[in-house]
Amino acid sequence: MKPNLFIGVMSGTSIDSVDAALMKINPKSWSFIGGHTIKFPKVLKSKLRELSRSQYKVDLKTLIELNYKTGHLFAKCVNKLLFKESIDPSSVKAIGLHGQTIMHHTATNFPGSLQIGDAALVAKETGITVVSNFRNNDIASGGEGAPFAPLFHSWLFLNKKVNRILINIGGVSNISLLLKNGNYKGYDIGPGNILMDSWSIANKKGDFDLKGQWAITGNINHRLLSEFKKDAFFKRKPPKSTGTDYFNLKWIKEKISINNKSLATADVQATLTELTVDIILDAIKKYPKESEIAFCGGGIKNNFLMSRIKHKLNKKINLTSDWGIDSKWVEAAGFSYLSKKRIDKIYSDLRLVTGSNVPTMLGGVFLPPEKINKLRGR
């Protein structure tokens, strides 16, 4: 009998690296076995960023080739993890593959979400069953297709003695409320790192503002901050989700043009940082005051951002490492869990998270060629 080993693979909206987490999942417990990270090659990263943030114009041949190259990179990350941990692929029951989001488009009568990274290729190159395309099952059931974080945050961090709030600051920030009675809910708050990263890239300050060192040199422009906060997304009630198709460089420039004032680029960066701080704090304040609070995601490495949150929240905050797993591996670990649920044919109830009408079985299953042939009796 196979050990209960599953792998989750995640790459965020920053398109910086791929994380793969190897998890042992038992009926009432989990353990993190190991993880591996692989950087996106510069050319591939550049093309994926252009595709996901330029909006609408895409050459289909390019899309197909990027789908293949991204899938190959995902498989390479998994194989390196297996080698590092001395795990035979046959010991792993499934890979949960989120894929690289190119477009998340749900505020329409014709909703959908596109992630690339060829799941069939990953299955072939690893020899492991892959579960992928998680979002569209939820969308077909009337949901937003995101976030899934509250579902796997509940699995990882639920505490029956205390309510917990978990903030994930990735490209997009989302919040999970984990109630001690076992219920959970959450939603996408809005931009996490994505606007800060986009402005940093546009002004040739690097792919991201390292530790917030650029933002700290600027001054918060409260008029511009107020303009940012007027955006309709922040007024929408949950369930709601968003992505780089909405919050991007174009969004920043449009808001600045409304402000109609020449601004120092560092002041804009400081103001974008404060926007992320304020929308996170506004979300936290809606939930029980006695809740424990923890943070995860790439944003926790931004020292200036986190110092502003701590200053304005004025309450003890934790990192997920205080709750049992390093922040770096939380999302990848979560998709290992979602793959297990799909392989075990267990429905996920996201009605209080994505707004789906019914519990849904998330993801499609892709078998490696040798398993397909075995099923056919070859």
Q: For residues 133 and 115, what is the distance between their CA atoms, to the nearest angstrom?
A: 7
Supply the DSSP symbol for 285: T
- The reply to whether 60 and 37 lie within a common domain is yes
Q: For residues 148 and 71, what is the distance between their CA atoms, to the nearest angstrom?
A: 21
pLDDT of residue 107: 84
pLDDT of residue 12: 83
pLDDT of residue 181: 95
- The reply to whether 160 and 66 lie within a common domain is no
- The reply to whether 153 and 188 lie within a common domain is yes
Which of these three, 307, 327, 347, is where a domain ends? 327
Domain that holds residue 233: 149-327
* Sign of the dihedral through C-alpha 132, 135, 140, 143: positive
- The reply to whether 65 and 180 lie within a common domain is no
pLDDT of residue 50: 86
- The reply to whether 79 and 166 lie within a common domain is no
- The reply to whether 251 and 315 lie within a common domain is yes
- The reply to whether 292 and 358 lie within a common domain is no
- The reply to whether 106 and 161 lie within a common domain is no
- The reply to whether 207 and 296 lie within a common domain is yes
pLDDT of residue 371: 72
- The reply to whether 297 and 207 lie within a common domain is yes
The CATH number assigned to the domain holding 198 equals 3.30.420.40
- The reply to whether 200 and 336 lie within a common domain is no
- Mention every residue, 6+ apart, whose C-beta is less than 8 A from residue 366: 119, 120, 122, 123, 129, 130, 131, 132
For residue 29, list its beta bridge partners: 26
Query: Which pair of structure tokens corresponds to residue 260?
Result: 């109609």
Report CA dihedral (251, 255, 258, 261) to the nearest 10 degrees: -120
- Mention every residue, 6+ apart, whose C-beta is less than 8 A from residue 149: 166, 168, 174, 176, 186, 331, 334
User: In one letter, which amino acid is 135?
Assistant: R
* Sign of the dihedral through C-alpha 148, 153, 156, 159: negative
User: In one letter, which amino acid is 98?
Assistant: H
pLDDT of residue 56: 58
- Mention every residue, 6+ apart, whose C-beta is less than 8 A from residue 264: 218, 219
Query: What is the tally of structural domains in the chain?
Result: 2
pLDDT of residue 355: 95
- The reply to whether 194 and 134 lie within a common domain is no
Residue (of 280, 302, 297, 292) closest to 323 by Cα position:
292
Q: Contact at 8 Å (CB) between 162 and 328?
A: no
| Residuewise pLDDT in 10s, the chain (378 residues) | 567 999 999 998 888 899 999 999 998 899 999 999 999 999 999 999 888 876 657 789 999 999 999 999 999 999 999 999 999 999 999 999 999 999 888 888 999 999 999 999 999 999 999 999 999 999 999 999 999 999 999 999 999 999 999 999 999 999 999 999 999 999 999 999 999 999 999 999 999 999 999 999 999 999 999 999 999 999 999 999 998 889 999 999 999 999 767 899 999 999 999 999 999 999 999 998 899 999 999 999 999 999 999 999 988 899 999 999 999 999 999 999 999 999 999 999 999 999 999 999 999 999 999 876 666 565
Query: Which pair of structure tokens corresponds to residue 257?
Result: 């043009």
